[in-house]
Structures are given as structure tokens and as C-alpha cells.
Amino acid sequence: MRLRLRDTLVGLERGKPLLMGILNATPDSFSDPPGAKLAGELVDRAHALVQDGAAIVDVGGESGRTDTDAISTAEETERVVALVERLAADGLAVSVDTWR
């Protein structure tokens, strides 16, 4: 069985889990060095996640931390759209982590 994500097919096999790599496009991610991230660094990180076994790369543009203020939809969009487009153009299966 295959899952179609626009132009990308992800293989699904019963009993075989898929890994999702998490890519934080936020300046305050607890799992990444602090500060703004360059687009090239994020693209390289996404490809590394796939090389390490991720079937899907999940891109987040807003912090999940409870001690930060919410950002605008425009700022979240600015953080993720071009990145998602680039990763999809590279043939990666991509999802977006958002509550909007």
C-alpha cells in the first residue's frame, strides 16, 4: 500500500512503522541551537533526517513552548512555505505542524 502526498509516494507496510523527522523552523527550538536558522541549514537537516530513515519530514514554524508568545499567521507562513516548497521539489514527503 502507498500513501500519496501530492507528487510523492510513501510506502506503507503492515507491521512496519514509518519514521517522521521533525524540522523546527523556529528560533527557540529546544532541540536545536538557538537563533534564526538559515534556509540552507534547514534543507540540509531535512535531507539528513531522510538519510537517517525518516519517511516524512514534519516542518514546524511556531514554537510549542508554553513560555513564548504566539506568532502571527503571516510569520508562521514566512517560516515554512518556501521551505516546504523546496523540500517537496526535492522529492521529500513533507507535512506541516500547525494549529491553524
Give domain status of residue 53, yes or no: yes
Give domain status of residue 6, yes or no: no
Give domain status of residue 59, yes or no: yes
Instruction: Give the pLDDT of residue 66.
Output: 80
Confidence of residue 33 (pLDDT cuts 50, 70, 90): low
Task: Return phi, psi of residue 56, to 5°.
Answer: -135, 140
CATH of the domain at 59: 3.30.420
Give domain status of residue 93, yes or no: yes
Give domain status of residue 26, yes or no: yes
Give domain status of residue 14, yes or no: no
Classified as helix, coil or strand, 71 is coil
Cell output for 7: 507528487
What number is the average pLDDT over the span 39-57? 94
Give the count of domains, the chain. 1
Give domain status of residue 61, yes or no: yes
**CA 77 to CA 61: how far, in whole Å?**
7
Q: List the beta bridge partners of residue 16.
A: 13
Q: What is the pTM of this model?
A: 0.82
pLDDT tens-digit readout, 8-23: 777 777 888 889 999 9
- What is the domain range of residue 86? 19-97
pLDDT tens-digit readout, 59-97: 999 988 788 888 999 999 999 999 999 999 999 999 999
DSSP string, 14-56: TTBPPEEEEEE-STT-TTS-SS---HHHHHHHHHHHHHTTEEE
Give domain status of residue 72, yes or no: yes
| Cα–Cα nearest to 99, from 65, 75, 64, 74 | 64
Helices 39-51 and 73-89 pack at an angle, to 10 degrees, of 50
